[in-house]
Chains A and B, each alone.
Chain A
Amino acid sequence: MEEKVLDVKNLSIDFHTSRGCVKAVDRVSFDVKRGEVFALVGESGCGKSTTAMGIMQLIRSPGIISGGEVVFGGRDLLKLSREEMTGVRGRDIGMIFQNPLDSLNPVYTIGAQMTEGLLVEKMDKKQAWQVARDMLRDVKISDVEQRMKSFPHEISGGMRQRVMIGMMLCRNPKLLIADEPTTALDVTIQAGIIELMNELRRKFNSAVLIITHDFGIVADIADRVGVMYAGNLIETADVMTIFDRPRHPYTRLLMKALPTITKDEGRLETIKGTVPNLAEERPGCNFADRCPYAMQKCREQKPEWKECEPGHFCACFLEEGGTARE
């Protein structure tokens, strides 16, 4: 059995608002193994970023983690004290976000920010500078000496994201969480970042949890995929299975909504309706109102999270009865 770096079990995150309790993440379970890229994919508001923030314990009021476990390195992160968690962030788990300009401090040089984490670990100043410089080379930045002295506004968006990746990898984390790392970038720059991430994960063999709405990125980099909808994880499987034999109706419809054809070849499939209001308590499946295969049962009961074939999990009643495939 491969080593599980991260094991999320029944993680639930609620937001208490004036309009009721929003179950932004509802009993989500998945794991990420060593050297593996796990992609959490879904549309906006499905809870994928909230899940990542929950793992990092960066959920702010009115949100609270209402249940579950986040097992990392043999301990449950949810049980750690604030100080202990601060030690985990950055050192054991690195995280990069969509907009690198928001993550970088505008008044410090790249070099100062790259070495900050290393200096915290009592590394010698000179040595830290060297480690950071070599890391910038690893993330394919040219003119490293010059760049170490640059400020974030002096470099391009693609380069900033490379700096962020380098900064995280400097401390050799066991897990890297990347929340929409290329969404703000041009496709040509995105392709370079994806290539870089693919190369680095081989080199450092760290586990990567990537969060994206783009199935193209999933196809390009993921080993395993989890699809989320309205706070629930609805399907996980390895990437080939998700693309070849998706089981959940939502996954199947979403795949068909991707513009992969020309207008002369036909029309894109659409999903009718909109995402339900999560502040309302619903007895059945969250997708039932939009699902073309919905049965009476779907509106009355929540489908269970079940392994429908080895390594392929799905939460749908269709799988249990084995009826209505297409």
Chain B
Amino acid sequence: MSDEILVKTEHLKKYFPVRKSGGGKAFVKAVDDVTLEIGRGETVGLVGESGSGKTTIAKMILGLLPPTENTIYIDGKNVWDRKNTKEIRKKVGAVFQDPASSLNPRSTVYRSLERPLLINGCSKGEAETLIRETAAKVNLGKELLERFPYELSGGQQQRVSIARAIMLRPRLLVLDEPTSALDVSVQAQTLNELLNLQQEYGMSYLFITHNLSVVRYMSDRICVMYGGKVMESGKMADVYENCVHPYTFGLMSSVPPLHPRQRDRKKYLLTGDMPSLIDAPEGCRFCTRCKFRQPVCESQEPAMKDMGDGHFAACHFAGEIEF
């Protein structure tokens, strides 16, 4: 494995068993055959509608949900090998959408930040120095350290979550909708802070969001998911400006315009809903909503097509469709 790659997973699968009405077992294929790599210092954006499997991937990478098939390697170490657990947990940090529910309401900010350090063998004194240093890095005022989460604003709570996640100086930060609950002005501050921290510590980010403007601002590469599968991936600019998958195009044109003058832009609105992932169809998962659908799409699952320069798309007609 190359030294440039921090996180690597191939053909990752997560199937949830469900009981069928009338007896018998079935599986929800929440993540189905996902191959993903994250380079050192790189930000990979994971986008898609709700239910596309973004968070399930995050949970498997964090070691919170065991994959059904295959595994994830971080720094060449298997996340799902028990003997690596402690080491991996130090290397990976996580920030979730709702900061209020990810902080312990009975711990002061200081206690929340101290805990990971004490668990990993820091002395109280060392911990204090590190906490003060990290709090300053995320613009968390000293006076806030002795407060409880409910005494903080949403933006401040999210900064505490970020501080806690980087306490052990991880190599990877999994950011699952970190700014979705925040206001625009607070979101801007938080995103800028994340970029600064990344520059300083050289961390890799897995940035999960449904907000395409945010992911465009943050990412080097993006990966578009639909129904548990990767539809298109590549460098951010390639995917944004020259997307080849009809789903990506549909998703992009659903984003509201930046200016009222763009109201009459070319649009391709997706109709209908994501199909049930229980006993998902044979062919392309997107074909039920795709207006470019051909008979082959219903019978045969498209393979990942290499569009050059690290740009991939899972569509039989990638590169052939004029949007």
Contacts and interface: CB of A to CB of B under 8 A. Distances in A.
B71 interface: no
Given A188-B270, A260-B258, A263-B218, A44 B210 contact: no
A213 B184 CA distance: 8
Interface stretch (A100-108, A117-125, A191-199, A316-324): A191-199
Interface in A210-264: 213-220, 222, 239-240, 243, 253-254, 257-263
Given A192-B269, A194-B256, A239-B260, A267 B210 contact: no
B192 A258 contact: no
Interface string A156-194: 101000000000000000000000000000111011101
Given A257-B185, A257-B188, A261-B217, A219 B256 contact: yes
A271 interface: yes
Contacts of B192: 267-268, 270
Given A188-B254, A191-B269, A192-B271, A259 B213 contact: yes
Most A CB contacts (10 A, CB to CB) among B212, B236, B251, B257 go to: B257
A81 interface: no
A138 interface: no
B257 A259 contact: no
A262 B258 contact: no
B210 A187 contact: yes
Contacts of A259: 187-188, 191, 211, 213-214, 216-217
A267 B258 contact: no
B195 to A, nearest CB: 6
Nearest to B189: A270
B159 to A, nearest CB: 12
A269 interface: yes
B259 A267 contact: no
A271 B153 CA distance: 15
Given A187-B49, A269-B188, A270-B192, A219 B183 contact: no
Given A188-B270, A269-B188, A220 B183 contact: no
A43 interface: yes
B273 interface: yes
Contacts, number: 109
A43 B153 CA distance: 13
Contacts of A216: 213, 255-258
Interface in B187-232: 187-189, 191-192, 195, 210-214, 216-218
B260 A243 contact: yes
B253 to A, nearest CB: 7
B49 A44 contact: no
A215 to B, nearest CB: 8
B68 interface: no
A191 B253 contact: yes
Contacts of B259: 219, 243
A61 interface: no
Contacts of B251: 187-188
Contacts of B262: 219
A96 B188 CA distance: 29
Interface in B230-285: 236-237, 250-251, 253-263, 267, 269-271, 273
B70 interface: no
B interface: dominant SS? helix
A195 B256 CA distance: 11
A274 interface: yes
B300 interface: no
A258 B250 contact: no
A258 B186 CA distance: 10
Contacts of A253: 185
Nearest to A250: B185
Interface string B62-101: 0000000000000000000000000000000000000000
A188 B260 CA distance: 19
Contacts of B185: 43, 253-254, 257, 270-271
A44 B183 contact: yes
Given A253-B185, A267-B192, A240 B153 contact: no
B50 interface: yes
B256 A43 contact: no
Contacts of A243: 259-261
A217 B259 CA distance: 10
B260 A217 contact: no
Nearest to B236: A262
B153 A274 contact: yes
B269 to A, nearest CB: 5
A77 B216 CA distance: 46
B269 A158 contact: no
A289 to B, nearest CB: 14
Contacts of B271: 192
B178 to A, nearest CB: 13
Contacts of B255: 187, 191, 216
A214 B259 CA distance: 12
Contact of B257 (A156, A188, A195, A219): A219
A257 B214 CA distance: 11
Of A158, A191, A217, A253, chain B has the most CB atoms within 10 Å of the CB of A191
Interface of B: 49-50, 153, 155, 183-189, 191-192, 195, 210-214, 216-218, 236-237, 250-251, 253-263, 267, 269-271, 273
23 contacts: A158-B273, A186-B50, A187-B212, A188-B270, A191-B255, A191-B267, A194-B256, A213-B183, A214-B256, A216-B255, A240-B261, A243-B259, A254-B184, A258-B258, A259-B187, A259-B213, A260-B258, A262-B217, A262-B237, A263-B195, A269-B188, A270-B188, A274-B155
Given A186-B49, A217-B256, 17 more contacts: A43-B185, A43-B186, A158-B273, A187-B251, A187-B254, A188-B250, A188-B269, A188-B270, A219-B257, A220-B263, A253-B185, A258-B258, A259-B191, A259-B213, A262-B236, A268-B217, A270-B188
